[in-house]
Amino acid sequence: MLQPSPAPALIALRGVSKVYPGPAGGFTALSDVSLDVAAGSFVAVVGPSGCGKSTLLSLISGVDRPTGGEVVVGGTAVHALPERRLSEWRGRTVGIVFQFFQLLPTLTSAENVMLPMDFCGTWPNRERRGRAEALLERLGVADQADKLPSALSGGQQQRVAIARALANAPAVLLADEPTGNLDSRTSAAILDLFASLSDEGQTVVMVTHESAARTHASRTIEMADGRVVADGVGAVPAEAAHG
Amino acid sequence: MASPRWTKVRRDLWLHKARTVMVVLAVAVGIAGAGAVLDTWALLRVVVREEYLATNPPSATLWVDSVDAGLLATVRALPGVRAAVARRTVVATATSGGVGRTAMLFAGSDLGGSEVGRVVREAGDWPPGEGGFVLEASSESFVELAIGDSVALRLGSGAEVVLPVTGIARDAGLAPGWMEHIVYGFLTPGTLARLGAPATFDQLQITVREGEMDRSHIRRVAADVAEAVSATGRRVESVEVPEPGEHIHAAQMDSLLLTQGAFGALALLLSAVLVINLVTAMLAGQVREIGIMKAVGARAGQVAAMYMVVALALGLVAALVAIPLGAVAARAYARFAAELLNFSVEGYRIPSWALVAQLGVAAILPMAAAAIPIVRGCRIPVAEALRDLGISGPGERGPGRILGGLGGAARPFLLSLRNAFRRRQRMALTLATLALGGAVFMASLDLRTTIRGSVGELFGKSLRYDMSLRFVEPHAPDSIVAAIRATEGVGELEAWSGVTASVRHDDGLLGNGFSLTGLAWDSRLVAFPPLEGRWLREDDGRAMVVSRRLAAEEPGLRPGATVTLVVGGKESVWSVVGIVDMGPGATAFTSRAAVAETVGDARARVAVLSATVVGTASESELIQRLRRDLEDAGFPVESGQLVQASRVAMEDHLLMVAGFLVLMSQLTIVVGGLALASTMSLSVMERTREIGVLRAIGARHRTIALIIQGEGLVVAVLSWALAVPLSVPMSVAVAKSFGRVMLPVPAGMAPQAGAVLAWLGLVVVVSALACAWPARSATRITTAQALAYE
């Protein structure tokens, strides 16, 4: 099942499991998942609701911790990082794009993009605004730089969120259902954007329901019931997913 | 350019203006309340130190039958005496504007000097010139005299002498004239002699050379002085050694400030609880944003720092409002308090350390209060923080579910009941804040009622006479009774004798002089409730009952004890048979026969009587008539006093103290109201989506508003139910604190119905006001807005 990557792995998961405690006993979200993601690849993680794909992303980003197994990103054992170091590591190494954009409502687009630089001190203060504007320009929303999120459309908000995720030039861009809240035209544009970022060398791991996403990704991982059920270059045949 | 995180902090504060204002108000109210008490205390401390001690208050006063220059020189030569002056004090009648009032006139060997009991000139002449009258400043408002006016003075049956008021001066050592209802005035010995007083002095006031703050040492020096005076063949009537360095009303003031300080601290504590409540809720509303910030790289410390800076900034803004407010209140209060002490605070500033202390508390309090919720909020794992709960909050359990399940009630009311219990921790804090405010309020009202009751008890049941007359000279008791009987309108009547007595302690030193009144053992005009021991009996001999205050000052005066008293310079052995409750004075009662036997004089100088006429005006008219008739009959009256006037004066002063406690309690109610308002605002904010759902299924404006108001009412009524039992220990504590230095008042073990109902009414009004804005906000939420809210 495991498809070995030709290049050295930027992300490596070994025997990862995640069990959420609940009143009716534990719920297993991930069960013994192992996989490698090479630098510069664009990976789409697909599967039905509750299959564990968002949990997978949470574990890679250090937002959540595995119940068992190892998560190594860029040589750092994320599962073992203490909480106090985790945030800074995440800020410098991982950029996260959420389904609901999660922009801070009282900050403008540019300020939202500057926020990770501010927290991590990755760029000198005087250069942050310029970098934020450059990223917004790159994502086609430079003219929205001084607007609050409430004044932007969904697509524009997601572009700003992607710019924010790229602010600290992270090794990995993680996107959790980035098109789930967008119309099909905007969704296609966002997927194109990820593909072009990947072409430029950015590692992208994206969780999605979108069948179209598979055509943009360089690799598609299909999940079901907390396990990887298919893994291949480009689209995974539907029968493999359900077989 | 400000960094994004501080921009976020600034905009969040502006976005949630109502909540921001609420936190600022909460801190400001607490700081202003506690600050006002601190400022008052600090200001009075400076004034007392600089003004009272600067007057060189006498270390001891000796009442001697006669003091002349030779005796004064002898006393000044004693090794322990630093300075000595001679004075004479006489009681006279001062008439101005057609009203006769009791006056206390002072003449001295060196009134203008500053060695002992310095009197400070405020206007006009000082010291008084020959034939001039200098009014003591604290009597000015009471007697309504000014420089240039005339006052007619009359000593006993002597001729009335009209004198011009030539100056105003302040004697910080006197209890205020307006409070005592006495006109204090200063004259030269020559002017006093014109009134018919002896030309010699009758008091020696001394200061000691060393150990000025050591009362035992002062007593020893005073005993040496008394011995030196006795060696010249004169008689020392009594000796008084006040608490060194303490104004006559200092203990009352300290107790008052201490009690108010406790209330101020409570207001501060409640503010802190309110800040905890608000910050917890603020962070609850920010959980997702905290999660986002941590997801993009913010460390928990960075996020915590943002909210700590918010708390600090809000505290400092509150300080900007509270410190000047507290200072203004403190100055007004200190002015009043200083009047009680007969000082003036004009020209004095609140010490800067007090203001700096408030600034420090304003900075630290919100941060300290916010620390726990901030640390807790910033530790929430990112995954949990980002999780979407939809219509948020846990389902209610416990009391909310039980109460909400009650049948028969209207549906909106059931919703209110259930909602009130949804956030149990916040509910508990709000309840505690309101309940404490209510308990303090009820305790203050209880104190007012018990003061009225105690004064009523003292004057209505214990003192069964309506007026007292003091004669210029003593007379045979039967002749006094016969003379008074001749005037129409007199009911029960008794003639009393009186002496000043001092306890001779085991070390040979004399205690302070106290009034020992001789009356019929079976007097029908007094009935003091015994606290210990019993009242007088016919066969008692030299026995006395003492007041609670005297027993406190002279711990040897316990029922069953035998003590040596010095009366008129002679020692005699007395037994103490009881301690009775007779108001705030240090005094004692015995039989007239015992006084007569001790001083060898059976005559009486005081008459007390009940009137058959009713009403203050009629009683005043009777007392004037009695004075005229008695003078015509050869019984000139030195002074006359209506019991009702004494009662009103005492009640007014005691109620003034209670009034300030009520004022402080109102501060705690404001904090409680703010707590409820903030809780309800947050509740509306958190339930925006739920309110939208209610609107979507047909709830009208009125229904939504009723739900919010009903929820507030549930909290208010519950807090009332908690406050009622809580007010009992509070009342006991307040009554004990008050009773220690003012008038002993019974500590009620059950809340008074009036106070309980008053608080219920008030808390309902507070609830309605506190919920008005949240209810309005809730009705302005549109369905579309609410369902899109995130």
Write the ipTM: 0.84
The larger pLDDT score, comparing residue B615 to residue B561, is at: B561
Distance CA(B554)–CA(B563), nearest Å, equals: 11
Q: Which helix (H) or strand (E) holds A13?
A: strand A9-20
- Where residue A8 falls among pLDDT bands split at 50, 70, 90? low
Q: What is the DSSP-derived secondary structure letter of residue A139?
A: T
CB B337 within 8 Å of CB B282: no
- What's the token pair of residue B356? 């700096």
Contact B302/A at CB under 8 A: yes
Query: How near does any CA of chain A get to the CA of B290, in Å?
Result: 10
Q: Which of B58-72, B193-207, B382-396 has the lowest mean pLDDT?
A: B382-396
pLDDT class of B432 with cuts at 50, 70, 90: confident
Gap between the Cα atoms of B116 and B207, Å rounded:
7
Q: What is the model's pLDDT at position B413?
A: 60
Is A106–B288 a contact, with Cβ atoms under 8 angstroms apart? no
pLDDT tens-digit profile of A71-97? 999 999 998 888 778 888 988 899 998
Ranking B2-16, B29-43, B300-314, B773-787 by mean pLDDT, the lowest is B773-787
Decide: pTM greater than 0.80.
no
Nearest to B4 among A90, A91, A115 (CB): A115
Please give the single-letter amino acid code of residue B209. R
Residues from chain B that touch A169, judged by Cβ atoms under 8 A, are none
Please state the rounded mean pLDDT for residues A11-35.
88
Residue range B685-709, pLDDT digits in tens: 777 777 777 777 777 788 888 888 8
**Which has more pLDDT, B483 or B258?**
B483
**CB contact B235 to A (< 8 Å):** no
Query: What does the pLDDT average to over A41-70?
Result: 90
- Which DSSP string corresponds to B391-460? S-SPPP-THHHHHHT-SSS-HHHHHHHHHHTTSHHHHHHHHHHHHHHHHHHHHHHHHHHHHHHHHHIIII
Lowest mean pLDDT among A54-63, B118-127, B387-396, B549-558: B387-396
Question: What is the predicted pLDDT for the residue at B544?
Answer: 95
Which stretch, B113-122, B276-285, B597-606, B775-784, has highest mean pLDDT?
Answer: B597-606
Q: What is the mean pLDDT of residues B190-213?
A: 89
Q: Which pLDDT band, with edges at 50, 70 and 90, does B389 fall under?
A: very low
Alpha-carbon gap, residue B116 to B57, rounded angstroms: 6
What is the share, in percent, of chain B residues with pLDDT greater than 70? 91
**How many C-beta atoms lie closer than 10 Å to residue B199's C-beta?**
12
Tell me which residue of B621, B783, B633, B767 sits closest to B700, measured CA to CA.
B783
- What pLDDT sits at residue B744? 63
pLDDT at A216 over 90: no
Pick A89 or B407 by higher pLDDT: A89
Tell me what pLDDT residue A2 has: 44
CA gap B465, B460 in Å, rounded: 9
* Residue A234 pLDDT grade (very low, low, confident, very high; cuts 50, 70, 90): low
Token pair recorded at residue B268:
């501060």
For residue A98, the one-letter residue type is F
- Environment class of B10 (CB within 10 Å of its CB; exposed 0-12, middle 13-18, buried 19+): middle
| B630 token code pair | 């008695």
Residue B164: what pLDDT?
94
Answer yes or no: do B299 and A87 touch at CB < 8 A: yes
Comparing A91-105, B255-269, B464-478, B494-508, the range with the smallest average pLDDT is: B255-269
Strand ranges inside B476-527, DSSP E: 490-504, 514-519
Chain A residue with minimal CA distance to B11?
A: A106
Contact at CB, A63 and B295, closer than 8 angstroms: yes
- φ, ψ of residue A125 to 5 degrees: the values are -50, -45
Average pLDDT over residues B723-731: 88
pLDDT in tens, A150-207: 899 888 998 899 999 999 989 899 998 888 777 888 888 888 888 888 888 899 999 9
Distance set, CA B398 to CA A45, B281, B389, B417 (Å): 44, 22, 22, 12
Mean pLDDT, rounded, for B88-114: 84
Alpha-carbon distance of A164 to B292, in angstroms, equals 11
Of the residues A58, A60, A87, the best mutation for testing chain B's interface (the one with the most B CB atoms within 10 Å of its CB) is A87
